[in-house]
Chains A and B, each alone.
Chain A
């Protein structure tokens, strides 16, 4: 599974798209003239929790957004469960970064979760008790059931993040993509989110998380995908999350002490 890329950026092998939950081939995204993601291949392992790791500005979020078509890539192919992305939208749940939203928007916690049922409700479908019950159940799973009627701006950052996760849960998807869900959240939220994600994995769902905290990678994830504009490494935590790959991904940006500490932790 380990697919280390050489210094020249040449992939050792490029397997066919297959029916992986998310398969990306040759993806390049550029803002202006500078590529944020360059010719990246990624094959997400089904039923696993994968962390996308890399330094700031390495293209982690961009990779996710391009995979979902939120950002238009310059080139590359994406397939979801072996089919084109647009045929599989209903099987994907996305949790964007908190900063992407206007928190003064007139909407309550329950309304946000009900947005997850957008497909079920359709354009003119009536909101029924079973929809509300489902939304409540999702809020329950992230421990936010006491906040149903609050305007979303009145919540703390961590609570907002959990509401976003509840909205994704309401979609009952097979593939969950989360963009920095642990950034700037409290300990209670981190615990709640990780336990929900682990329960998703137990239910056979696939989870991909853009992650920034190297210290928790081995605890939380099975697989890692290291990126710094180009793919650096991909594979199980044991294989691909090593002092060597981290050094390659972060270069001089990771303090030596940090690398040593991680290397020690990794054995």
Chain B
């Protein structure tokens, strides 16, 4: 079943959902990156919750006008309007009152969502309301997805991506250094608002598949995942889009492969799995790498301290130090230095003196920046530079290496 779903062989509806979810994942991942870089990730939660009243009001308006209340374009237009109102409220609160942004987010989110739930209850008591299925917008419902729905998602997602591509440079500049961006004449406020507008577009587009409660996960988890793997913002954007798209694709396929698996929540869980893998396994910023790095570092520190102690004839009490020295064949079992140990110790002491020169000489600034008390000086300076430093130190030549 899963293979069928992955290769889009599970029938019309499942295929539409998988394609829609993949597109949504890509555009949410890419858009969310800028939100994450601007440190305003939670604003998206307020925006998404603020869509609910709009959905309900649009439904009631369409029914009142004698139309079909379930028209997706109408419902999404309504949700966009109320999300925009929510966003403007949020901006107004943070700018014109003493409320901090987190408190303003809490206020807007709960008030709009509460109002939406009230409207939802009212609709369910209406004659035509029972079949409306509006509660599907809370957690997404893909069961009855139509070709037209998929088209709305595809166009919305593609449009958002194109706008992001157009605005990526100003948005990065504003996220990194807003003051500098303002000094260059960039309209920082308007760029921020445009960014939030894009987030809103993604949210609205994603209502059908993941629903308003979980869309925040698609906006935030992929960029956080991507951040583990790179130190470049353009790559974070790219990786985040890939992570989001993959999560959408795998999640939707998984949920289609068995009955009664909800699409939105499964996508979020797949996305989380990528996050967890990155958290532990990423080479630079991952937890495992950090632990290994720390242990390796600790061993180097102990070894270096041990060598310096040997060179200066000081006793070594630390058990780890002794064990490391013994294992490297630098001391005998009784703690006396071997010949190699003596040579290495003498070199360690000599290197300390060399580093002292390097660190006080501005000509060696780049090298001095690498000083950590552990690094072999040969990895940083050329043979000639070292010879020059040795001449300045004076003393015996021909240090064994």
Contact = CB atoms under 8 A, between A and B. Distances in A.
Interface of A: 65, 68-70, 86, 89, 92, 94, 96, 100-102, 105-108, 111-112, 115, 118-119, 121, 123-124, 143, 146-147, 151, 156, 159, 167, 177, 188, 191
Given A100-B179, A106-B236, 15 more contacts: A92-B183, A94-B179, A96-B177, A100-B177, A105-B233, A107-B176, A108-B231, A112-B176, A118-B170, A118-B184, A123-B169, A146-B366, A147-B366, A147-B369, A191-B362
Contacts of B233: 105-107, 111
A123 B176 contact: no
Contacts of A124: 165-166
A159 to B, nearest CB: 7
Given A106-B227, A108-B232, A111-B233, A96 B180 contact: yes
A145 to B, nearest CB: 9
Contacts of A68: 182-183
A115 B230 CA distance: 19
B179 A119 contact: no
B176 A101 contact: yes
A123 B183 contact: no
A106 B179 contact: no
B39 interface: yes
A262 B294 CA distance: 50
A20 B165 CA distance: 39
Interface residues of B, number: 30
Nearest to B370: A146
A70 B179 contact: yes
A156 B369 contact: yes
A58 to B, nearest CB: 19
Contact of B183 (A94, A108, A112, A147): A94
A151 B231 contact: yes
A175 B386 CA distance: 43
A123 B369 contact: no
Contacts of A159: 369
B173 A101 contact: no
A94 B180 contact: yes
Interface of B: 37, 39, 165-167, 169-170, 172-173, 175-180, 182-185, 227, 230-233, 235-236, 362, 365-366, 369
Nearest to B166: A123
B182 to A, nearest CB: 4
A143 B227 CA distance: 29
A112 B365 CA distance: 21
A-B complex: 6 closest residue pairs judged by Cβ atoms: A94-B183, A89-B185, A146-B366, A151-B231, A70-B182, A68-B183
Given A70-B182, A118-B184, A143 B365 contact: yes
Contact of A107 (B184, B231, B365, B366): B231
Nearest to A94: B183
B180 A102 contact: no
B170 A123 contact: yes
B365 A123 contact: no
B231 A106 contact: yes
Contacts of B235: 106
Given A89-B185, A106-B231, A147-B366, A123 B179 contact: no
A96 B177 CA distance: 9
A111 B232 contact: yes
B250 to A, nearest CB: 25
Contacts of B231: 106-108, 151
A111 B172 CA distance: 11
Given A156-B369, A159-B369, A102 B176 contact: yes
A107 B232 contact: yes
A106 B169 CA distance: 14
Contacts of B182: 68-70
A111 B365 CA distance: 22
A47 to B, nearest CB: 21
Given A106-B236, A143-B365, A115 B179 contact: no
A191 B233 CA distance: 32
7 contacts: A89-B184, A96-B177, A101-B176, A102-B39, A106-B235, A107-B231, A123-B166
Contacts of B180: 94, 96, 100, 115, 167
Contacts of A191: 362
Nearest to A151: B231
A170 to B, nearest CB: 12
A206 to B, nearest CB: 16
Contacts of A146: 366
A191 B362 CA distance: 11
Given A105-B233, A106-B231, A123-B167, A115 B176 contact: yes
B232 A106 contact: yes
B173 A105 contact: no
Nearest to B39: A102
